[in-house]
Structures are given as structure tokens and as C-alpha cells.
Chain A
């Protein structure tokens, strides 16, 4: 029997044929839905696991243990004679003598050194500031709260959590710490310094402010350069450029540029921007320019797609009224394309935010203690800071690394939120 034309089949037979295939079609749909749902759940679980892990590791970094020292500001300890400048007294000696007074049993030199090691190396500067702020304390004994050493800090945190410490702290030291805790001389405080101070070799003093400022400055440079350049290039290529072999070649090359490994841009920055143009090393300005090179293709490609998606009828409407090409572009095409352009920009900026490789080449990987105050100051950025801390042996940096990741994610979140807000505003227009 030859195949019948479905048009000529009796209606019921056509229906039967459709019904035959129906079960299979529904099954396929169900399988696909299940697959999609699984993918979404899997993705969510990964993100949740990541956030949970990072957050739980980061939490200790937001607290810091402080210890109370009854500092004896005697003239003898300070080696003070009348008329001396308060800035140049022997605070280290004062601190040590005061600590020994608190632990009269400790006699041996080695033990004394260990005892000193329980306090942050910054403690002598803390008591110096304390006395300078209150000169009338000269000759009296005053309680001063100073940070504990990072090993003690981690020990205390791990005792809390695990009941048993994992750190290198011997029994004698543990006993002293216990005594301090029992005397109420140890207190846990919110670690404001994590946000207000810069990198340090001492984990208890290290903070993200320098890197965060560096990231902010770098991102400002990147945004200010890449957004107008990218949008202008996209508008020109989409609305004004003739369609010929040259523009085709430019398009192919822009697409290629988006796939270039980022470290290449770093090499370019080093060779051209630093060596040829003589711009300063490690500066957010140079970092921003390098990241602009990296971000531009992303912004151009997204903007072009978004401009292309604006219906031609809108252009015709404006041109038909006698608007020039530029007027048409700026009053109608760009506002309608703006949500897509912003999405592309935020994707490019997020990439740039997490980038370390190109910045390694231009010296933004250095250990920098000062908070950068201008675009040409030496600085580092958050991902580099995370890398540096992750690389450090001190156990306290473990929590700091996670905390810095959280701060970076928070920064990203803020950036995305502002882009979403702007997008909403353009869409509602």
C-alpha cells in the first residue's frame, strides 16, 4: 500500500496518527523538564555550598581578641626624664616590664620571650598612642587593651569551636592564655581594623582597605574608559560604518580579541603603557587601562547585539520625521539599546573585577601597605590581595582570605545592583 496523503485521510485516522506519537512527545517534554530542573538545582547547590563554605571560613576574621595589660607608665619603665618628648620614650621596655609584673612566676629568658610573643607586635605603639593622648597618665598604672598575637587569636577561636586547638602554641603559652581568660583580661571584639587598615605582615593587623580602594580606583578607570569607547565603537560599527570587507575584518578581530588570554593584555600594558609611555608601575591608572583593553570587546559585542535588536521601524520613524542619523541614534536607538548595553558592561566589569593575571605583569601584585589616594599611587586589588593572603603561611590568614572573598563578592553584588537599577530605569522609560 502506498502512503496516503494526510489531507485525504478520514479525520479520525489523522487523529489516530497524532495520538500514536503523542505519548512519546509528552515523555520527551517531561524528560527535558526534569533535566532542566536538575540543572538549576545542581547550580543552586553549588552556589549555596560555595557561599556556605566561604562564609563559615570567613566568620572568625570579623572578630579579634584583645588582651588587657596594666601598663605601668613609670618614669623608670619609660626611661623618662623631665622635658623628654613623649614620642621618643622606651615603650617596648614599658610594655615588657608591665607584662612581667602580671606574670611574676615567669623568670627564664626564653619563657619571657614567649610571653612577649602572646601580644601583638603592634602593642607597644598602642600604649604609646594611649600615653600621648593622655599625658597625665605618666607615672601611673593604667589598663590598656591591645591585640593578642595572631597565633593566640586563632588558638582562642579554635578552642571555642573545636574545643581543641590545632595551632603551634605550646602548653606553657596555653596555660598563660588560660590564666588571662580566667582573669577576664581577654575580650573578643568586632574587627573594625579588617575594613579600615591595609595589608600587613602581621595577620592581626591586616585589612582590606588598601586593596578595596585599589579595586575601586581601577574599576573607575576601567568603566570611564571602556564604557564610552565600547559604546561609541558599537554605535559606529552598527549605525554608521559601511558594510564592506574592512568592517567585516574589524568585526572578526573584535570577536578574536574577546578570546585573547588576559595575561597577554598584561604584557601589552607592561611593554607599551609602562615602558614606552612611562606611566608608573603598580598604579590603578595602568591597571584600569589594561583591564579596559580586556573589557572592550565584551562591551562592544554586547552593545552591537543590543543595538541590532532595536526594531528598524523606530529608526525609520525618526528618519521619516527628518531626524539626522546622529539624532536618531542618540534619542531613540541608544536609549532602547541601553539595557542590553548595561548588561554587557556589567559582565565585562565583573570579569575585570576578578582579574589577576594581567595585573601581575604591571606590578599590582606587590605588597603595599599604604592606602592608595590617587590613580597613580602604588596599589593592589582585591583578587591579588586574596591570592597573597592565600599564599601566606600564618593560619590566621585562612579566615582573612575567605573574608576578603566575601568582601569582593559584596563589591560585585553592589556593582550588579547598581547596573540592575539603571537598567530598570531605562526599561521603564
Chain B
């Protein structure tokens, strides 16, 4: 028997994806996505994906590059609205409300569903301004001291306060990469969202900074529902309770992280997590 598998038969249609296997749905869902299709002009990026984000849990979205996991994540707080050719169908429900309903205000939605991006993107303003911006535009603080409190607790939750407390008026862009990413997380939680979406938050960081971020994610799940896109399977295994494996725009398998990494049901999932491709 020939044991050498080419990348062709590892990744392509030789192995059929007939709907998803595993347990994509749960009882205590914070958000439920059903039959989601996403198109960029003529290209279909997401094919009929249905899954739940469990409340106060970390759900990891993994998969090879171009599999649509980031696209899916960006649909959840309607960031894809900003891309003119992007069309989204299907249903996104958070706490019983349809997110793509005409009555749903994307501004309010994005305040409730925060996002942390792959590349740390602090505003070219002071550290304080970075964190205070969200509460300011939403009018969350009625006084200066209240705003100061929000900034301080957000920075503390992000584990950054002790490092920057003496230089809150210095530009946020002057921090190191890992600190910048934690600043972005502090900025996101300053608005007190219910869900935090993270798009490869540690991909630009060194292992030490990554460890700090991962620890932070584990702490944050006590209060928030988190979805994280990651390329690192170890990271997914370390921080998440649920894992969803995407392949070519389809959800292949979803289930408890432990089960996915120890006993995957689908051949493609097994190939991917065992490192044979991706």
C-alpha cells in the first residue's frame, strides 16, 4: 500500500464534506448562526454553515488559509457590511434577535459584539484615548472620573495597567506588539460587550506575549462569550472549550475541543490536526 499522500488527495474533494459532523449546536447558546452563505461578488466564501457560540465559552475556529473562518467571524458583528461586494444570507441570532434584521443598528451591534483584529491596530493617540474612545462615543461615562475608572479597569482586565499606568498619555503605537494587542483588547472590553470576536489575535506575537494573551482569554470567558480564529492548533487546544473546523468555506466538524483533538470524526479534521497539511 502506498503511504505517501499527495497534498491533492489530502485537501480536495476526494474526501466528501456532506454537511458537518459533530455537535455544532448547544443548549446555552449566546449566538446561533443558521444556513450562513457569504458571497464576494460571484465567489461563494461560506457554504451553508450552521453553528452556535456557547455562552461564557471560548469557541475556536480553525482551518487552513482561505477556508472562510475569518469571513465567518466578521459576519458576526457585520464588519463585512463595509465591503461593498459582500453579500450575506442566512440567520444570525443573538439572544433571540436577528442581527441582519433591518431594525438592527450595526453601530449598537458592534458595541455589543466587540472585535480584536489580527494585527494590533491601536489608534495613533494616547493609551488613555485609545481605551476611552469607545466609552466616549457611546456616552458610557457621565464624568471624567467615571471615564478614568473605565479606562483603569479595562486596562487591568487586559493585564496591561501595571505596565502602562505611568504613561497613559503616551501614544499607544509606542508599545510593544504584545502590549499593543492587549491595549486593543482593553479597548474592546471598555465598551462592555457581550461577545468578543478575535481574529488570530496572537499571530503577530512572540511566544511570551502569546502566552499572556491566552491567559487573558481564559480569564475573559468568565464574563464574555468569545469566538477566536486561530492558525495555531495548540492555541485552540489550550484556550477553547469548543472547536469548529472549517474547510473550503464549509464547516466540516464541530464539537468539544478535547474530543476534536483526541478523537476527530471526520477524515479532513484528522488530517489537519495531525499536521499532515494546513
Query: Smallest CB-CB separation from A311: which chain B residue?
Result: B121
A331: CB under 8 A from chain B?
A: yes
Contact with A331, one of B107, B115, B133, B187 (Cβ below 8 angstroms): B133
Q: Do A319 and B187 touch across chains, with their CB atoms under 8 A apart? A: no
A336 to B77, CA, bound (A): 26
Q: Which residues of A lie under 8 Å from residue B111 when comparing CB positions?
A: 321-322
A242: CB under 8 A from chain B?
A: yes
A41: CB under 8 A from chain B?
A: no
Contact with B117, one of A317, A323, A331, A336 (Cβ below 8 angstroms): A317
A313 to B124, CA, bound (A): 12
Q: Do A321 and B79 touch across chains, with their CB atoms under 8 A apart? A: no
Q: Which residues of A lie under 8 Å from residue B251 when comparing CB positions?
A: none
A336 to B121, CA, bound (A): 14
CB of A316, distance to nearest CB on chain B (Å): 6
Query: Smallest CB-CB separation from A322: which chain B residue?
Result: B111
Given A321-B137, A321-B188, A322-B134, do A314 and B125 touch, yes or no (CB 8 Å)?
A: no
Given A321-B187, A324-B107, do A336 and B124 touch, yes or no (CB 8 Å)?
A: yes
A311 to B110, CA, bound (A): 20
B119: CB under 8 A from chain A?
A: yes
A403 to B124, CA, bound (A): 45
A75: CB under 8 A from chain B?
A: no
CB of B128, distance to nearest CB on chain A (Å): 14
Q: Which residues of A lie under 8 Å from residue B117 when comparing CB positions?
A: 313, 316-317, 320
Q: Do B188 and A320 touch across chains, with their CB atoms under 8 A apart? A: yes
Q: Which residues of A lie under 8 Å from residue B77 when comparing CB positions?
A: 320
* Interface range on chain B (Cβ under 8 Å from partner): 20 to 34
A332: CB under 8 A from chain B?
A: yes
CB of A248, distance to nearest CB on chain B (Å): 14
Q: Which residues of A lie under 8 Å from residue B228 when comparing CB positions?
A: none
Q: Do A321 and B125 touch across chains, with their CB atoms under 8 A apart? A: no
CB of B170, distance to nearest CB on chain A (Å): 12
CB of A247, distance to nearest CB on chain B (Å): 12
Given A316-B79, A318-B123, A319-B79, do A327 and B84 touch, yes or no (CB 8 Å)?
A: no
Query: Smallest CB-CB separation from A317: which chain B residue?
Result: B121
B248: CB under 8 A from chain A?
A: no
Q: Do A320 and B115 touch across chains, with their CB atoms under 8 A apart? A: yes
Q: Do B121 and A243 touch across chains, with their CB atoms under 8 A apart? A: no
A316, A317, A322, A332, most chain B CB atoms within 10 A: A322
Given A319-B110, A322-B110, do A313 and B121 touch, yes or no (CB 8 Å)?
A: yes
B82, B84, B123, most chain A CB atoms within 10 A: B123
List CB contacts (< 8 Å) of A211-263 with chain B: 242-243
List CB contacts (< 8 Å) of A106-154 with chain B: none
Given A324-B107, A332-B123, do A319 and B82 touch, yes or no (CB 8 Å)?
A: yes
A317 to B172, CA, bound (A): 13
Summarize A's interface: helix, strand, loop or mixed.
Answer: helix
Q: Which residues of A lie under 8 Å from residue B79 when comparing CB positions?
A: 316, 319-320
Query: Smallest CB-CB separation from B171: which chain A residue?
Result: A429
Q: Which residues of B lie under 8 Å from residue A316 when comparing CB positions?
A: 79, 82, 115, 117, 121
Query: Contact string, A284-316, partner B, CB cutoff 8 A, digits 1/0?
Result: 000000000000000000000000000101111
Given A242-B84, A320-B110, A322-B107, do A327 and B123 touch, yes or no (CB 8 Å)?
A: no
A323 to B137, CA, bound (A): 7
Q: Do A243 and B84 touch across chains, with their CB atoms under 8 A apart? A: yes
Query: Smallest CB-CB separation from B78: which chain A residue?
Result: A319
Q: Which residues of A lie under 8 Å from residue B123 when comparing CB positions?
A: 314, 317-318, 332
B109, B124, B138, most chain A CB atoms within 10 A: B124
Q: Which residues of A lie under 8 Å from residue B110 when comparing CB positions?
A: 319-322
CB of B112, distance to nearest CB on chain A (Å): 8
Query: Contact string, B133-151, partner A, CB cutoff 8 A, digits 1/0?
Result: 1100110000000000000
Query: Smallest CB-CB separation from B124: which chain A residue?
Result: A336
Query: Smallest CB-CB separation from A242: which chain B residue?
Result: B84
Q: Do B119 and A313 touch across chains, with their CB atoms under 8 A apart? A: yes
Q: Which residues of A lie under 8 Å from residue B109 when comparing CB positions?
A: 322
List CB contacts (< 8 Å) of B49-89 with chain A: 77, 79, 82, 84
List CB contacts (< 8 Å) of A340-373 with chain B: none
CB of B267, distance to nearest CB on chain A (Å): 35
A-B pairs, top 3 by smallest CB distance, nearest first, are A322-B111, A313-B121, A320-B115
Name A's B-contacting residues (CB within 8 A): 242-243, 311, 313-324, 327, 331-332, 336, 429
**What would be 30 A-B contacts, judged by CB atoms less than 8 Å apart?**
A243-B84, A311-B121, A313-B117, A313-B121, A314-B121, A316-B79, A316-B117, A317-B121, A317-B122, A317-B187, A318-B123, A318-B133, A319-B79, A320-B79, A320-B110, A320-B114, A321-B111, A321-B114, A321-B133, A321-B137, A321-B191, A322-B108, A322-B110, A322-B134, A322-B191, A323-B137, A324-B107, A327-B137, A331-B133, A336-B124
Name B's A-contacting residues (CB within 8 A): 77, 79, 82, 84, 107-111, 114-115, 117, 119, 121-125, 133-134, 137-138, 184, 187-188, 191
Known contacts A322-B109, A324-B107; 10 additional CB pairs below 8 A are A242-B84, A320-B77, A320-B110, A320-B115, A321-B111, A321-B114, A321-B137, A322-B110, A322-B134, A323-B134
